[in-house]
Amino acid sequence: LVEERRLVLWSRAQAEQDFLDEIGLLGALPALDPEDGGFAVTVTNATGNKIDSFLTRDVDVSEQTLPDGKRQLVADVTLTNHAPTSGLPPYVIDNELGLPVGTNRTLVTLYGATGIQSVTRDGQPIGVERFPEAGWFGHRSAVDIRAGRSVTYRAVFALDGPGDGAFE
């Protein structure tokens, strides 16, 4: 879990942050590349169950150069809920929100170096809550993903400088 960055911690105390960093558990965002920026996505279970273990993420990040020479970072993120609707205890796949069994309510945060130019979910523009975090800009929205279904986000960020198109 630690190696996959599925288990990370944060502390307000600097000494504790230093220790968490030393042992590989610090959940901090990395420093941004000054020219190519960067992209990160986080998902947070908002259903109060254990359903997030059934959520998979497919992320594709690319650079596009527009006819006027300006560059954009384009991130496509597909989230798929593989949860069953039966066969597991309610504390795993049910919820107290009145959603169908197996539904995953997820807070999705898309991070970029600059403010987001556009964000869509399943091809439709959506509004997002914007906030700064550790030199990045986060853009958060909530989504309900029923069992066996997927949602796809596309986020577009402006990039500064010539860059080299290398994204990690």
pLDDT over 90 at 165, yes or no: no
Nearest partner of 147 among 95, 77, 76, judged by Cα:
95
What dihedral do alpha carbons 13, 1, 144, 113 form, nearest 10°?
Answer: 60
Residue 34: pLDDT band with limits 50, 70, 90: low
Question: Residue 70 corresponds to which tokens in the numbers above?
Answer: 């300006």
Return d(Cα 44, Cα 57) in angstroms, integer.
Answer: 12
Return d(Cα 41, Cα 77) in angstroms, integer.
Answer: 8
pTM given for the model: 0.84
pLDDT over 80 at 98, yes or no: yes
**Which whole number is the average pLDDT over 125-131?**
92
Q: pLDDT value at position 161?
A: 65
Query: What confidence tens digit (pLDDT) does each residue in 10-31 have?
Result: 888 899 989 998 988 887 788 8
